[in-house]
């Protein structure tokens, strides 16, 4: 992987990630007349729930469903179409979001463009390009872990208008949160309770072992990764992807795990696109990496509940969660009263049936 950092016209950072076989020189200049970026992100704490809410009013003016010929994530085309990427072509690009939810002392938000092909999707990538995206995610996790305002790094992708995507170009985002997210805090508390109850056992290892042993919810099992529908899946079609050797974050994956991941993940995405038949179009989804936050040993130990030793960063298990809000070819799963009001999910598709369907669509 070749990494070339540069700056956009308004001062934001942009990094080209190229395959080692690429001999392109990344010296294109952003010629847009942009003013320096000005944001006003604020994080407020809910006194009842204890969670955080980002207030980012400047996002009201962000680009919204532009026509394909004006997409800001395409490569720049001469002087006719100046975009966020000054180069006329690229492999993978990461840059600071122009309309960030978090910025400055409240964290950092980045955009990841997977391919210059506006009409493609992550599932259309070959294994080499998918591996390059994984390497870019890994590099950004390492870099953002040293950012003074970042405590947790979350690489994710939203795909489909049904999800709320406003730019059709295949891309994802990376959020560097200045706190441990509520969902991760729940995982840490559960991991600490399991460690105490089992005299030192690991919750993530236990979940993976149970799913592999039961097998009825396993979708794909490789040499280094297993994809399964969780026992208490929240969403109609939801898959968790775990490495067999537990690691805390992407930087700790070994070469064998990195080499197999694109094979498994591309297979999963293509199965998602076949779930509802050839006339249903691409399946909308959210996919994200759950990584251990960057806390002090004392902060991890604070989650501990008793015997089994204090909780440590190494107790967290990196995994990817992928789900769709589509439950049938023409029906979406909306978060209504119970889900939105009380965070109690009601799933219309039994996890075992979802796993069975995902195994059925292994081939076109």
Asked if residues 239 and 283 have their Cβ atoms less than 8 Å apart, the reply is: no
Does 119 participate in catalysis according to the annotation?
no
Asked if residues 3 and 79 have their Cβ atoms less than 8 Å apart, the reply is: no
Instruction: Determine how β-strand 92-96 pairs with β-strand 13-18.
Output: antiparallel
d(CA 112, CA 198): 40
d(CA 364, CA 349): 22
Residue 232 structure tokens: 């208490």
Our CA angle for 356, 131, 270, nearest 5°, is: 30
Catalytic residue among 118, 169, 171, 290: 171
Helix-then-strand count for the chain, H and E: 7, 15
Closest CA to 183 of 309, 52, 294, 298: 52
Our CA angle for 207, 211, 322, nearest 5°, is: 80
Burial of 263 (0-12, 13-18, 19+ CB in 10 A): middle
* Residue 263 CA neighbour count, 13 Å, CB half: 12
Q: Please, what's the largest Cα pairwise distance for the chain?
A: 65
Residue 118 structure tokens: 């506006």
* Residue 56 CA neighbour count, 13 Å, CB half: 21
d(CA 5, CA 15): 4
Closest CA to 208 of 185, 224, 195, 184: 224
Q: DSSP readout, 216-249?
A: TTEEEE-SSEEEE--TT-SSSEEEEEEESS--SS
Task: Show which residues are catalytic.
Answer: 171
């Amino acid at each position: 992987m070749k990494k070339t950092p540069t700056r956009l016209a308004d001062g934001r950072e942009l990094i080209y990630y190229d395959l080692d076989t690429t001999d392109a020189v990344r010296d294109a200049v952003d010629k847009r007349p942009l003013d320096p970026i000005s944001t006003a992100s604020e994080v407020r704490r809910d006194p009842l729930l204890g969670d955080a809410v980002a207030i980012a009013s400047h996002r009201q003016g962000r680009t919204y469903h532009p026509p394909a010929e004006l997409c800001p994530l395409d490569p720049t085309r001469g002087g006719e179409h100046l975009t966020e990427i000054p180069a006329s072509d690229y492999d993978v690009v990461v840059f600071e979001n122009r309309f960030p939810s978090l910025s400055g002392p409240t964290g950092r938000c980045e955009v990841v463009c997977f391919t210059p092909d506006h009409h493609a999707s992550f599932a259309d990538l070959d294994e080499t390009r998918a591996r390059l995206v994984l390497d870019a995610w890994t590099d950004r996790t390492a870099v953002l872990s040293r950012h003074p305002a970042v405590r947790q790094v979350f690489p994710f992708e939203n795909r489909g208008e049904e999800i709320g995507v406003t730019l059709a170009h295949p891309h994802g985002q990376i959020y560097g949160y200045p706190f441990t997210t509520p969902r991760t805090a729940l995982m840490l508390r559960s991991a600490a309770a399991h460690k105490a109850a089992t005299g030192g056992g690991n919750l993530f290892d236990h979940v993976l072992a149970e799913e592999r042993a039961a097998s009825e919810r396993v979708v794909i099992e490789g040499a280094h990764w297993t994809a399964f529908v969780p026992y208490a899946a929240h969403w109609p079609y939801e898959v968790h992807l775990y490495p067999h050797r537990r690691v805390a974050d992407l930087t700790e994956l070994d070469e064998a795990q990195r080499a197999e991941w694109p094979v498994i993940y591309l297979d999963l995405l293509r199965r998602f696109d076949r779930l509802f038949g050839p006339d249903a179009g691409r399946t909308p989804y959210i996919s994200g990496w759950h990584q251990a936050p960057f806390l002090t040993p004392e902060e991890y130990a604070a989650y501990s509940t008793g015997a089994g030793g204090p909780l440590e960063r190494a107790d967290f298990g990196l995994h990817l969660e992928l789900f769709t809000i589509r439950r049938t070819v023409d029906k979406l799963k909306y978060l209504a009263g119970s889900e939105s009001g009380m965070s109690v999910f009601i799933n219309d598709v039994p996890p075992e049936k979802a796993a069975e369907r995902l195994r059925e669509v292994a081939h076109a």
